[in-house]
Amino acid sequence: MKKIINKPEDYLKEMLEGIYIAHSDQVTCVNNDLQCYVTKTKKEGKVGIATGGGSGHLPLFLGYVGDGMLDGCSVGDVFQSPSADQMLAITKEIDSGAGVLYIYGNYNGDIFNFDMASEMADFEEGIRVETVLGADDVASAGPSEPGEKSTRRGVAGIFFVYKCAGAAADQMLDLDNVKRIAQKAADNVRTMGVALTPCIVPRVGKAGFSIGEDEMEIGMGIHGESGIRRGKIEPADQIVDEMLTQIIEDLPYNKNDEVAVLVNGLGATPLDEQYIVVRRINQKLETAGITAVKYYVGEYATALEMAGFSISLLKLDDELKELIKHPVNTPFFKQ
């Protein structure tokens, strides 16, 4: 295991200590629990937005806590959910009377704990909590009846849900409206990933799966969940075409639609390659009559040192288009 770490069991604590040291001007923890991470900026009367999830995905999740985006985040150990108590602590800390919105990825462990925190916040603290799930992954969209719970995993596209909801809350919209906007962003974002190499969870010490020297897996999840097709690695343009076709077909698109695009590196893939991907996306979107009004490129939701990338498309209406432009200032993301 070739990692810059000390003892694997100290990984989370030491990583978080480093983050609080580097960004002490902007963030702090609640009740001396390093895993309860909140912004130092409090805006009275603003809807609070909380997220959370396992570590190992930086800048996801805590990297989006800051001005114009989220207010708090509880993080678990690598690829593990934080506890309901930690989420409750965040909820109490960030509520300023206008209620709290939870936005997190569609994973059972997180749902269980966030739901419990939400009930405790309501019954014990009288804090109104609403929830919007990130469930943007095209590869894991199983067959489901209308009204059934989505099988889609939450992956990089949750960035856009944070971005739009965070902007709405910062503009002092009420909880109903911030939730409505978060849900609209969640409903209109789709993501597809491809992995080239596995990653190693420090406490486990070996790769979660193996993949051939010349192979890739389309649709793999950010914890190494199985994708939809494994095959020989192909030229970048061919990979992008396969991914983008499935993303576009998953939502109804019309000519002259506008989108925001996120090209997200999973960890070990150089920025250079991500821009080669941007070039092809733009060609394909132009052919489809879809306009990309904004590109985000870089590492937004990683899987430790996994090589690969994902593409997320957010279909915009006038409201989301304005919210996307809203300024953000977190230690990990600025716009």
- The reply on whether position 205 binds a copy of itself by CB under 8 A is no
Among 126, 214, 255, 287, binds a copy of itself (CB under 8 A): 214
302 is written with which tokens? Answer: 């990683």
- The reply on whether position 271 binds a copy of itself by CB under 8 A is yes
- The reply on whether position 26 binds a copy of itself by CB under 8 A is no
- The reply on whether position 204 binds a copy of itself by CB under 8 A is no
- The reply on whether position 228 binds a copy of itself by CB under 8 A is no
- The reply on whether position 149 binds a copy of itself by CB under 8 A is no
- The reply on whether position 44 binds a copy of itself by CB under 8 A is no
Least Å distance between CB 153 and a copy of itself?
20
Based on the residue annotation, tell me whether 223 is a catalytic residue of this protein.
Answer: yes
Least Å distance between CB 102 and a copy of itself?
24
Which range binds a copy of itself by CB under 8 A, 140-148, 165-173, 251-259, 262-270? Answer: 262-270
Catalytic residue among 57, 152, 190, 280: 57
Least Å distance between CB 26 and a copy of itself?
12
Residue 91 and residue 51: Cα distance in Å, rounded?
A: 10
Q: How many CB atoms lie within 10 A of CB 297?
A: 16
Which residue, 241 or 319, has its beta carbon nearer to a copy of itself?
A: 241
Which range binds a copy of itself by CB under 8 A, 39-47, 138-146, 299-307, 311-319? Answer: 299-307
Which range binds a copy of itself by CB under 8 A, 32-40, 138-146, 177-185, 211-219? Answer: 211-219
Catalytic residue among 223, 263, 304, 323: 223
Among 157, 309, 313, 314, binds a copy of itself (CB under 8 A): 309
Least Å distance between CB 118 and a copy of itself?
28
Q: How many CB atoms lie within 10 A of CB 133?
A: 23
How many residues form the binding site for a copy of itself (CB under 8 A)?
55
Q: How many CB atoms lie within 10 A of CB 190?
A: 25
300 is written with which tokens? Answer: 């937004």
Binding site for a copy of itself (CB under 8 A): 2-7, 11, 14-19, 21-23, 55-56, 58-59, 196-197, 213-214, 216, 233, 235-237, 239, 267-279, 282, 295, 297, 299, 302, 304-305, 307-309, 334-335
Residues serving a catalytic function are 57, 223
